Amino acid sequence: MKIAIYGSRHQSGYIGYIADLVGELHKRGIEVVMAEKLFVHMAQNLLSAPEVDSVVGNSQISQYADLAFSIGGDGTFLHTAQWVAPYEIPVFGINTGHLGYLSDHRMARDFNWIDSLIAG
C-alpha cells in the first residue's frame, strides 16, 4: 500500500506528529509519498527530514497511491483533493484547523486508527 501525504505548512506545531505518523506507516509496511513543500518545511524545522519513500512536486502525485492524507484545515483538504483528483484517490482528512467540516479526524498520538483505516 502507498499513502500520499499533503499538508498545510501553517500548522507548524504538528510537524513532529507528522514525522511520527510517517514512522507508524512505515512500521506497517506502508510506502509514503509526500508533497515537496511539506517535506521541505519539515526538513527545515526538524532535526532531520522525515524518512519518506519519495517526494513529489505539489502539482504531481503518483497515480499509484492508494490513499491520500490531508493534514490541515478545510482549505488543505480541498487542495489535497485537487492534488489527487486526476487519479481518483480517496482522501482521509486529519484536522489541525479550528472547525474541520471536511476533516473530522483530530490529531492524536494513538495511531491505532491506521489499522482500522487500512482494513476498510
Give me the catalytic one of 53, 66, 74, 110.
Answer: 74
Total residues found in the chain within this entry = 120
Report the candidate in 55, 38, 36, 57 with the shortest Cα–Cα distance to residue 46: 38
Per-residue exposure over 59-83, b if at least 16 CB sit within 10 Å of its own CB, e if not: eebbeebebbbbbbbbebbebbbeb
Is 74 a known active-site residue? yes
From edge to edge, which strands make up the β-sheet containing 91-95?
54-56, 31-35, 2-7, 67-72, 91-95, 105-106
The dihedral of CA 90, 116, 77, 101: what is its sign? Answer: positive
Residues noted as catalytic: 74
